[in-house]
Amino acid sequence: MKRPVWLLSMDTDQFCAPPMTTGALKAHFVQFGRTATQSDLALIHFPNRAGVEQWLADTWSHAVRPEAEAALRAGLEPVLAVSCYTWNVAEFLEVVRRAKADVPGLLVVAGGPHVQRAEDFLYGDGIDLVVLGEGETPVPGLYAAGETVGLYHQVYTGSTSVLRGAVFGRTAARHLAQAPSPSCHSTTSAPIRTPTTSATD
């Protein structure tokens, strides 16, 4: 038996999309995780609040809970991880409380944009581990422009991306133009030229 890991995410009532963020987390873990070959990571994505209630009533009780209990009997520590956003944190805290009450040996991990301070989540709700800052690692000196700056948790946000790409692309270029380059003999840089385009281009 492999160590079971369940990663939960949920959409809002106004916005429904594939679970890109948790999908990316799973892909990264499968590719680079030290325990990937010993783990079975399942994505559980809810389209709305009703989906959470249905999952607790059916899937948790009849499938996930028995698997978690079997893992504990086999000497493995099952993991339930929740991706917390403002719109789902109340529902996910309810899932955590229920899961921890049913399976006290379950390791519960909380992360996501809504998790800002560990002390808000670690005491009293059944959460064992908190990932702050969404677990990202900043890369000093890395500039991003174009489509990448308009992605909100790997979800394309349309026209906002174009505006951010233009604004931050120009800002990044200005900063880079002033930075000394180790491959150049001179620290002076040429002025940045903005291309002129017409409405027909």
State how far the Cα of 176 lies from the Cα of 189, in Å rounded to an integer: 9
Asked if the 3-135 domain carries CATH number 3.30.70, the reply is: no
Helix axes 65-73 and 89-102, enclosed angle (nearest 10): 50
pLDDT value at residue 44: 93
pLDDT value at residue 140: 60
pLDDT value at residue 199: 46
C-alpha 106 chain-centroid distance: 21
pLDDT value at residue 139: 55
pLDDT value at residue 45: 92
Other CB atoms closer than 10 Å to residue 115's CB: what's the count?
A: 22
pLDDT value at residue 119: 76
Task: Classify 197 in phi/psi space as left (phi over 0), alpha (psi -120 to 50) or beta.
Answer: beta
Strand-pairing partners, residue 151, are 156
Task: Specify the long-range contacts of residues 158-162, CB closer than 8 Å, at least 24 apart.
Answer: none
Which stretches of the chain drop beneath a pLDDT of 50? 150, 153-156, 184-201
Based on its alpha-carbon atoms, the radius of gyration of the chain, rounded to whole angstroms, reads 22
State how far the Cα of 135 lies from the Cα of 28, in Å rounded to an integer: 12
Q: In this predicted model, what pLDDT tens digit does every residue of 9-21 receive, in sequence order?
A: 988 777 777 777 7
- Domain locations along the chain: 3-135, 146-178
Buried b (16+ CB within 10 A) or exposed e, 178-194: eeeeeeeeeeeeeeeee
Strand-pairing partners, residue 150, are none
Please answer whether residues 8 and 127 qualify as being in contact, where contact means their C-beta atoms are separated by less than 8 angstroms. no
φ/ψ of 45, rounded to 5, equals -115, 125
Sole residue written with tokens 């590719």: 31
Give the pair of three-digit tokens for residue 115. 């998790």
What SS3 state is found at 40?
strand
Other CB atoms closer than 10 Å to residue 171's CB: what's the count?
A: 12
Buried b (16+ CB within 10 A) or exposed e, 69-94: eebeeeebebbbbbbbbebbbebbbe
pLDDT value at residue 148: 53
